[in-house]
Chains A and B, each alone.
Chain A
Amino acid sequence: MTTLRIKNVFKRYPNGAEAVKGVSVEVGDGELVVFVGPSGCGKSTLLRMVAGLEDVTSGEIELSGRVVNDLEPAERNIAMVFQNYALYPHMTVRQNLAYGLKNRGTSKSEIDSKVEAAGKLLQISDFLERKPSQLSGGQRQRVAMGRAIVRDPAIFLFDEPLSNLDAKLRNQMRLEIKSLQRRLKTAAVYVTHDQVEAMTLADRIVVLNNGLIEQVGTPAEVYSRPDSTFVASFIGAPPMNLLSATLTDAGAQLGDQVLPVQTSLRGDVQLGLRPERIKISQSGSGASIEVTIVEELGATRLVHGIVGGQNISVAVDAELPVPTGQAVISFRPDDAHFFHATTGRRL
């Protein structure tokens, strides 16, 4: 079964801005789908159309098998977690959690038991009588999650819920969101511009660019077979090297260097190489690289250099010796990705 079906949805804002230009995507039962993309790519707009906070210009949004285009947000059986938490400042945590249930006519005893349960689940039981202003950012975030959980919605909608937290708390909350979602088995759409968040949370990733879908796939698929140079450079850190190369019978020609690749393609392409899939050594066989800068990242080092006149970066295990000056690189031929020289689509 499918919980959410977005069918060929367009969005044009009254000022003429085209935020979403024909997007179709489905979210299965219990699935966590992450919309990821750079700022302004339309991911919030898409999410807000699902929530009913924005009108759909054309196309259909279907929730649990029913078209909801013309339903009010409160009638859609969704729950949303906002970036700035959006808690009701004049209500206690308990009242914040209970507000939606009360408006739906839930009985007092059921509200109480739901609030207590959510409080326990999110470890906010001790703060139930406090106002949001008396909570830390992380605690507020939990309350916002609790408010979503007590509604028992068909789908959770998250709009960058962690971006106001510091890095450490962000990692912790990310894990919590994931385990919570697993436990509740409720479908969820999670919007973020952070590819690490996308990779770690998602069952499936939807990469958006400029109002269009670039690629849909599992994190592994998106990482190992990016459909375009955009996805290749957006997913994965450090980003994939993209080099202009000419494919000949000898291999991929980069300036004066020839890199051995396995392909029947010929002509000008963009050659994609993940930094962590390239081996570098001081000497031996392979294309020669002129090392320029070495960045220490802790567990790894990022070696920047020039191959055939083009910049390239290589991730090296910190245990291995640091290459300097003239060195050589090599990679497995099937680790090379080929993209169209001008359109950037995968070949």
Chain B
Amino acid sequence: MNKAQFGSPWMPYLLLAPQMLIIAIFFLWPAAEAVRSSFYLEDPFFGTGTFVGLDNYRDALSASDYRRTAIFTGIFVFLVSLLSLSIGLMLAVSADRVLRGKSTYKTLLMWVYAIAPPVAGLIGVMLFDQHIGPLVDFAAIFGWDYRIGVNYWDTGITMIIVATWKQIPYNFIFFLSGLQSIPKSVKEAASIDCSSQNRRFWTITFPLLAPTSFFLLILNIAYAMFETFGMIDLIVKDQPGNSPVTLVYKVYRDGFRGNDLGGSSAQSVILMLLVLVLTIVQFRLIEKRVHYN
């Protein structure tokens, strides 16, 4: 950037100020507040807190409830990322092979992405509804008595399916544009060098999609961890406490339903550290990522 472009040396800072202000008000301040209160035993009725050091962390990490939630979150994130990435890739590969009606196909698949998360959650929940849900009827054919909000794993599976369903279009779009950015002549050279289409996919197409895949993997992990909040809220809202939730949802539930602000803060600080690690990994990968051509 050429410095001479700005009349005053303060100009760039002035232009950045609104963004900085937003970051400060909506991220830095609450984050600092969370870190502070994670060391206190807060009085829920706005009294003064008592400094308890790392007690909140110790309590959170040693609670069996926390571990159970962490395990579910791990399974949830793993399955949602894996399923939505692999299904998105599969759809993108078939869409890439379709010659006619490509754009129609694309539009249809992208529609789901245009749906707001709570609405997607609502539709998903309706599909699994005890009385009107077609998927529940479908499961019943196989003798599976599907009970959301009653059976822990039935609820968990619903969450995984709805979250995956919502994320597939996003992955599809990125994979499709990744596929389409592979030069036609490279694919053609490969078709001369290798007769097996399957082998060509794994030796040429897939490695060339690696940058896209890394990027999507990080985004999908972040999505599954944090952005599924609305959908989970919808599914577990009026159910008893025995439903699986993710760590993010637990922060909310412990803090705002359970009024344990200190413990909830400690949990959210742990999550912040997790995000930090994820971000570092992402930057590392971006740095290392081969820039083809």
Contact with B along A128-152 (1 / 0, CB 8 A): 0001110000000000000100010
B10 touches A (CB below 8 Å): no
**Total CB contacts across the A-B interface at under 8 A:** 72
By a beta-carbon cutoff of 8 Å, the part of chain B in contact with chain A is 99, 183, 185-186, 188-196, 199, 203-204, 207-208, 210, 290-293
Instruction: Please name all residues of chain B whose beta carbon is closer than 8 Å to the beta carbon of A72 when the two chains form the complex.
Output: 191, 195
Contact with B along A65-95 (1 / 0, CB 8 A): 0000000111100111011101111100000
Is A74 touching B292 in the complex (CB atoms < 8 A)? no
Is B192 touching A133 in the complex (CB atoms < 8 A)? no
A:249-300 near B, CB below 8 Å? none
Instruction: Please name all residues of chain B whose beta carbon is closer than 8 Å to the beta carbon of A82 when the two chains form the complex.
Output: 185, 188-189
Is A86 touching B189 in the complex (CB atoms < 8 A)? yes
The chain B residue with its CB closest to the CB of A72 is B195
Q: Nearest 7 A-B pairs (CB), nearest first?
A: A100-B193, A74-B195, A86-B185, A89-B292, A86-B189, A103-B194, A73-B192
A51 touches B (CB below 8 Å): yes
Is A78 touching B193 in the complex (CB atoms < 8 A)? no
Instruction: Please name all residues of chain B whose beta carbon is closer than 8 Å to the beta carbon of A103 when the two chains form the complex.
Output: 193-196, 199
Is A99 touching B193 in the complex (CB atoms < 8 A)? yes
A318 touches B (CB below 8 Å): no
CB distance from B127 to the nearest CB of A (A): 39
Q: Add 19 more A-B contacts to A86-B183, A86-B189 (CB < 8 A).
A: A53-B188, A53-B191, A73-B188, A73-B191, A74-B192, A74-B193, A80-B188, A80-B192, A82-B185, A86-B185, A86-B188, A88-B190, A89-B292, A90-B290, A99-B190, A100-B192, A103-B193, A131-B290, A147-B193
Is A89 touching B192 in the complex (CB atoms < 8 A)? no
25 contacts between A and B (CB under 8 A): A53-B188, A53-B191, A73-B188, A74-B191, A74-B193, A79-B192, A80-B188, A82-B189, A83-B185, A86-B183, A86-B186, A87-B189, A88-B204, A89-B208, A89-B290, A90-B207, A90-B290, A90-B292, A100-B192, A103-B193, A103-B199, A132-B293, A133-B290, A147-B193, A151-B193
Is B193 touching A133 in the complex (CB atoms < 8 A)? no
Is A78 touching B192 in the complex (CB atoms < 8 A)? yes
Contact with B along A23-40 (1 / 0, CB 8 A): 000000000000000000
